[in-house]
Amino acid sequence: MATQTLEPHLIDSLQQSAREILETMVAMIPQTISAEPEDHSRFSDPVIGLLGFTGTRSGTFVVRTHEQLARTIAAKMLMMEPSELGSFGEAVDAFGEVVNMLAGNFKNAWVAEGNQMDLSVPNVIHNGEVSVQSAGDGCLRSRVRVQLDGGALDIGVHFEAKD
């Protein structure tokens, strides 16, 4: 048994969560939101937001983009212009909160199916490399790509293998 993807209705929920959070909390209108294959579980993107979870299944939310889009998302959430943010460190908390909101919104769909999900605190990694345990037998991983003005935001859900 190889790595599988989420059921279509959960991928739809992930897409709806992305649209809702970006439109209402960040004031950014997605141009497109599409389900994309998630071919790997190792990432080396300029900005990686991570949020681990436990419950019925354990795993990690992985939100990836480039630095300028992460700054724009953070600034818009804070009702600022990206140029008003000093160092990237000032954008980290706001970007982490967006990761938290995306995960929390998806959690509602997961729990509605009778599952449990307890979320950890989000972490944001700048110019680093991350590997999550979502490869191999019994693992699930899915990703949606949100195209925004300024670039793409990838939102993935990675479930570890069941015990």
* 102-119 per-position pLDDT tens digit: 999 999 999 999 999 999
User: What's the CA gap between 119 and 126, in Å, rounded?
Assistant: 21
Domains within the chain, CATH numbers bracketed: 8-159 (3.40.1550.10)
- Give the C-alpha distances (Å, rounded to integers) separating 4 from 31, 40, 95, 124: 27, 12, 28, 26
Query: Tell me, what amino acid is at 94?
Result: A
User: What's the CA gap between 89 and 100, in Å, rounded?
Assistant: 17
Please list the alpha-helical segments (H only) found in 27-157. Answer: 67-77, 89-112
- pLDDT digits 0-9 by tens, 139-163: 889 999 999 999 999 999 999 987 6
- pLDDT digits 0-9 by tens, 44-82: 999 999 999 999 999 999 999 999 999 999 999 999 988
User: What's the CA gap between 127 and 142, in Å, rounded?
Assistant: 23
Taking residues 116-137, what's their average pLDDT?
89
Contact (Cβ atoms closer than 8 angstroms) between residue 156 and residue 14 = no
DSSP state of 150: T
